[in-house]
Structure 1
C-alpha cells in the first residue's frame, strides 16, 4: 500500500495527538474514498456493489452531499405549517393513538 504524508501546523498536530485512540489514517482513507465515490457518482450516476457496501457500512451515500431541491424545501415548509404541527391536548393525543 502506498503512503501519503500531509503537513499540518504544530498546534493542529498537538490537538490531534490528544485523540490517540483515533486512527487518523483510516479516517483519511475513508474521506478520500468518499470524495472519489462522490465524483464518480456525479459523472456516472452509478456505484459498484462493493462501493455501495462501503456506503452502507458508513451510513453515507453521495446524494447526501447534494443540495436540497427547492421543491422539497417547499414541501417541508408546508408540513411544518400544517395542522399536525400544532400542539395537542392530552385528550387529542389519546384520540389519535386510539385511531392507530
Structure 2
C-alpha cells in the first residue's frame, strides 16, 4: 500500500493531536473516495454498485454536494407558509 504525506500548519496539527482517537488515515481515505465518487457522478450521473455501498455505509450521496436547483428554491419560496396548525397541548397533535 502506498503512503501519502501532506504538510499541515502547526495549529491544525495541534487540533489533530488533541483528537488522538480519530483514525486520520481513514478520514483521508474516505474523503478521497467521496471526491472520486462525486467527480464520476457529476460526469456520468450515476454511481457503481460498489460506490453506492460505500455511500450507504457513510450515509452520504454525491447529490448532497450539488447546489440546489433554482426551480426548487422558487417552489419552496412560493409554498404556503400558513399551513401550520396551532398546538396548545401535546394531545392536539394526535387528534
Distance across 2 between alignment mates of 1:74 and 1:97: 32
Moved over 4 A (4+): none
Which residue of 2 is the match for residue 16 of structure 1? 16
Which residue of 2 is the match for residue 88 of structure 1? 86
- The total of aligned residue pairs comes to 94
User: In terms of Rg, which structure is larger?
Assistant: 1
CA RMSD of aligned residues (A): 1.9
Residue segments in structure 2 that go unaligned for 5+ positions in a row: none
Distance across 2 between alignment mates of 1:97 and 1:78: 29
Q: Deviations over 1:29-65 (max 9, x none)?
A: 0000000000011111121111000001111111111
1:56 equivalent to 2:68? Answer no
Question: 1:89: Cα distance to partner?
Answer: 4.6
TM-score by length of 2: 0.86
Question: 1:73: Cα distance to partner?
Answer: 1.0
Residue segments in structure 1 that go unaligned for 5+ positions in a row: none
Larger helix proportion, structure 1 or 2?
A: 1
Q: 1:89 to 1:36 in 2, by over 3 A?
A: closer
